[in-house]
Structures are given as C-alpha cells and as structure tokens.
Structure 1
C-alpha cells in the first residue's frame, strides 16, 4: 500500500516555494487518492482455499469487485486516508494565512514600491496615447500564493469527493459525507489526545 509523504515543516518559506508546495500536495494525492482503487484492493484478504483453475474460464464483471472487510476499511480511513487529508488541510490552511498576512520579507517589495511610485508619476493623456492609462503592476508573492490556494482548495474538494465515492462503493459504508466522516474522526482524535491530560480547573 502507498504511503503519503510526511508532514512538511510549515513556514512562510515553504509556502512561497510554489514548486515544493505543489510537489507535496501532488505526491500526497497520488499516493493515496489517485491510487485509491489499488489501495483498497490491497485490503482484500486473499482466499484461504487457494487458487481454483476453473475460475479462469468464467469472466467476472469488473463492477463486482470483491467487498472489503468493514474493519479493514475503517482502519484504512483512520490510519491512512484521514491523516493524509488532515496533513494537506493543515498546509492549505497555514499557507492561506500566510497569503493574507503582511510580507515584509518579500524580495521584490522594493521593486513593487518603485513600480507604484512610477505609476503615480506617469502622465496619462489617453487622447495623445490611448494606452497611457494602462498599468499592469507585477503581483506581490502573497497575491500569487492566494490564487494558488484558491485553486488547490478547489482541487482538494474534487479529489476528496471522488475518493469518497470509491470508498463508499467498495466498503459499503453509510451514506455519510466525507466532510462529516472527517469531522467525526478529528473530534475522536481530540478526545483521545485529551484522555491523558489533566483537566484545568
């Protein structure tokens, strides 16, 4: 069974390294969600009776995939799928906050400020030059990150819905949505973590 990449160390530098950020999301999705059918097939217990040669003379429709033991399904969701989703959600949430925060370390901040200054000093006369009113400043890296986060959140929702449909079909679980299942798992995780902690007075 595929293993997702480990949780990256979250920092603004990680978020602004768009290639690294995209690679983490892509690898995590490809190892778990994009290969969900193979991951679920790996949960099917091999037959104890051994190979039956006559089985090759019958064609079994692909749609009748062998059902998976509910406990194996639940274990896969709790130990592999949901932690993978949570890791990606934390990255998207953290980088979303970075995208809306001040960015004093932007290496192009001085260039952006110079461009704005030049724009204020420009003489705009569209009668003499119809293009003189146009100004296309370069984007700050926070704006580029915000756009990337919007795109990745949309992709994440599509990927999760598709993965959940496959799991529902193979595991024969309830009609619970992935959002509810994930919320229940996160709530259970918080309760389990809280078990050993002394209650504050």
Structure 2
C-alpha cells in the first residue's frame, strides 16, 4: 500500500518560499490523488485459483472497474488518502495564518516605502506621456502568499472532488456523501481517544 504524504516542518519561511510550498503540494497530489486509479486497482484481490487461460479467449466485462472490498477501501482511505489530505490541509491552513499575520521580517518593506514616496511626488502629464500614470507597486509578500494559497486551495478542491468521485465509483458507499463529509468524519474518528 502507498504511503501518505508526511507533513513538512511548518515555519513561515516554508510558506514564503512559494516554490517549495507548491512543490510539496504537487508531489503530494501526484503520489496519491493523480494515481488514485492505480492505488485502487492494487486493492483488487487477484484470482485465488490461479490464472485461467480461457479467460483471454473472449472479451469480458470491464473487470478492472469492479467494486473493491469495502474493508480494503476503508483501510486505504484511513491509512493513505485521508492522511495525505490532512497533511495538505495543515500546510494550507498554517500558511493562510502566516499570510494574514503581520510580517515584520519582510525584506522589501523599505523598498516599497521608498517607491510609494516616489510615487506621491510624481507629477503626471498624460498629454506628454500617456504611459506616465503607469505605476505597479510591489505587493507585500503576505499578499503574494495569499494569492498563491487561493489558487492552490482551488486546485485542492478540484483534485479532491475528482479523487472522491473515483473512490466512490470503485468502493461504493453512500451516493450523497461528499469528500468534505467523509474527510470531516475521518478527522473526528482520528481525534477520538
């Protein structure tokens, strides 16, 4: 069985290194969610009687899409899928907290202040230069992080919805359950003593 994605050590620098943050999320998604069909196929118990050569003489039903044993599915969800989702949720939640907190260590704060002062002193005559009003202030790194997190949260919702649809098709279960309900139930069971 596959291993869940471990939660990396959380620190503000991890979040502000958006390339590292996005790499963690991408690798976690690719190791579990992007390969969900292969993981579920691995749960199907092979034939107990051995290989039957006559089984290749005709095209049968799509046996690779058959239902998987509910205990195997639940074990996979509890041991691999939900812990991986939980690791990504912890990272996204922590980084969202960092993005909404004050950032006294922002290395570009002085540069932004200088640019803003320079912009206030600027005289604009659009008749002489129609592009002179163009000014693109630098965003604080907390705003840049918040933008990246909004994008990654959208991706996360899409990936989890797709993964859950495949899991429900292969494992069965209540048709009206969403990934949010299943994940919340798992977290509640995990936190019970």
Q: Shorter-chain TM-score: what band?
A: over 0.9
Q: Secondary structure at the match of 1:42?
A: helix
Is 2:25 the counterpart of 1:25? yes
Aligned match of 2:160: 160
User: What are the within-5 Å matches in structure 2 for residues 119-158 of structure 1?
Assistant: 119-158=119-158
Q: What TM-score, normalized by structure 1, do the two folds share? A: 0.90
Q: Distance in 2 between matches of 1:131 and 1:63?
A: 65
Aligned residues: 192
User: CA separation in 2, counterparts of 1:107 and 1:156?
Assistant: 30
**Contact preservation (8 Å) 2:4, 2:79:** no
> Given that residues 112 and 137 in structure 2 are in contact (C-alpha distance below 8 angstroms), is that contact kept between their aligned partners in structure 1?
yes
RCO greater where, 1 or 2, for CA within 8 Å and sep 6 or more? 2
Residue 185 of structure 1 corresponds to 186
Counterpart in 2 of 1:98? Answer: 98
Asked if the contact 2:4/2:81 (under 8 Å) is kept, the reply is no
Query: Is 2:41–2:64's contact at 8 Å kept on the other side of the alignment?
Result: no
TM-score, length-normalised on structure 2? 0.93
Q: Structure 2 unaligned segments of length 5 or more: list them.
A: none
Deviation sequence 1:101-135 (CA, Å, 0-9, x none)? 11111111111111111111112233443333221
Contact 1:115 1:137 in 2 (8 A): yes
Asked whether the 8 Å contact 1:4–1:27 carries over to 2, the reply is no
Please give the alpha-carbon distance, in whole angstroms, between the structure 1 residues aligned to 2:96 and 2:105: 17
CA distance in 2 between partners of 1:47 and 1:64 (Å): 12
SS of alignment partner, residue 117 of structure 2? helix
- Aligned equivalent of 2:16: 16
Tell me the distance in 1 between the aligned counterparts of 2:63 and 2:22: 34
Asked if 2 retains the 8 angstrom alpha-carbon contact of 1:82 and 1:185, the reply is: yes
Extract unaligned runs of 5+ from structure 1.
196-201
Displacement of 1:50 in angstroms is 0.3
Structure 1 stretches (4+) deviating beyond 6 angstroms?
none
The question of 1:78 aligning with 2:85 is answered no
Aligned partners of 2:137 and 2:164: how far apart in 1?
Answer: 42
Question: Helix, strand or coil for the counterpart of 2:43?
Answer: coil
Describe the superposition over 1:151-185 as per-residue Cα deviations: whole angstroms up to 9, x where unpaired: 00000000000000101110111121111111111
After superposition, the CA RMSD in angstroms is: 1.5
